[in-house]
Amino acid sequence: MWADEAALDAATRRLDEWESSIADRAARAQALSARTRALTGTARSPDRAVKVTVDATGLLVDLRLDEQTRQHPAAHTARQIVATTRAAHADLLRQLTEATTQTLGDDDPAGRAIIDGQRRRLDPGQGPPDGRR
């Protein structure tokens, strides 16, 4: 099937490089997964009365209300909680973006897809940074 030994050697090298590339990508994906699982996003309201922490999936895991929230109507506090949760999501997205680009690189298509997916999930009102939708 192979015309000469050189062609066979070249094909073997390409297969070895391909296998090595797959193993490298799998290792980087595992490293990114471990790194991002531990992330949390945190934010405080401008008056520091509300503090929100979200886990790596964006779920609320901690909510701290300062006593000064008692001085405001419940609707005001609710708006602060929602806005501060959005800010915590933005903090988490910033960290996820940083971890992804550090682990996979700025130009990695999989990394860009991960970041875009996280952006859509954590900040559904925003599109990709270049305005694509």
Residue 80 has pLDDT above 60, yes or no: yes
Residue 40 has pLDDT above 60, yes or no: yes
Give, for 124, the enclosing helix (H) or strand (E): none
Residue 4 has pLDDT above 90, yes or no: no
Instruction: Extract the tokens encoding 4.
Output: 């000469």
Residue 124 has pLDDT above 90, yes or no: no
93 Cβ contact partners less than 8 Å away, ≥ 6 residues apart: 41, 118, 119, 122, 123
Residue 23 has pLDDT above 60, yes or no: yes
